[in-house]
Amino acid sequence: MVAKVLDGREIAKNYRAGLQEEVEKLKSEGITPNLTVVLVGNDGASQSYVNNKKKSAEKIGMKSEIIHLEETTTEEELLKVIDQLNNDTEVHGILVQVPLPKQIEETKILEAISPEKDVDGFSPINIGRLYAGMETYIPCTPLGIMEILKNADMSLEGADVAVIGRSHIVGQPVAKLLTDANATVTLLHSRSKNMKEVLKRSDVIVSAVGKPGLVTKEDVKPGAVIVDVGNTVVDGKLTGDVMYDEVAEVASAITPVPGGVGPLTITMVLNNTLLAAKRINNK
């Protein structure tokens, strides 16, 4: 068996084409979706990621601005910037790039962003809405994973799915989305005692740990679908959690790293910004 490559770049390209059409429609009504990203400090990876978001937004016709603050910015100063953006009617989506410098409490910043402009979906209010089944902004990586799975030629209805990693950003929300899609989900983590057993019987494995080599060929049921969210630099090379070459021999479909989940994460930031522009303007 040769696994189908779930090409995140291609899936994202097709999805963004649809977003671009909707953006153009809104612009014809005098509304230009606006994503503003706040970057504190000079972390190279964060700068690259932020620039990529800006370019991606502009490419589909959105307006995007980067507010770059010094590494020494205080928590109070950052909160003032967020307050200004919350009250700016021209800004629809606010995203604060993490990690933040040590003098700033990340939780306090996420709580300060207006839930109506929280396009990352990290606000405690939006997370609560997700679990209550209410209209909200879904965290972007989990939303991207669900879009990838639509391209895997399988039904999630009744499928056994293993999610490795229980973070509030990926593991837990994607487990909720998969459950809503009527899959039977097992959430695995560092304290799980029967991980190998669960993986071996799973129709889908989503690994979001950041531990290269975690999932091997021996862990995978023949024909399973593998979504690798791992993102670790090893010897200068971006590496996932899954032993790609060997697992691709038994899986029916698999995401590469890089080029799998990453492009969909940025795409869903754009998706949520478009939603925010619509909701704020009652469209």
Supply the residues annotated as catalytic.
53, 97, 120
CA quadruple 260, 181, 273, 167: dihedral sign: negative
Q: Are 227 and 145 in contact (CB under 8 A)?
A: yes
Q: Report the candidate in 125, 150, 151 with the shortest Cα–Cα distance to residue 137.
A: 125
Q: Are 190 and 207 in contact (CB under 8 A)?
A: no
Q: Are 206 and 145 in contact (CB under 8 A)?
A: yes
Q: Are 212 and 232 in contact (CB under 8 A)?
A: yes
Q: Which residues pair with 36 in a beta bridge?
A: 65, 94
Other Cβ atoms less than 10 A from the Cβ of 237: the count is 10
| Distance from C-alpha of 259 to C-alpha of 256, rounded to nearest angstrom | 6
Other Cβ atoms less than 10 A from the Cβ of 158: the count is 9
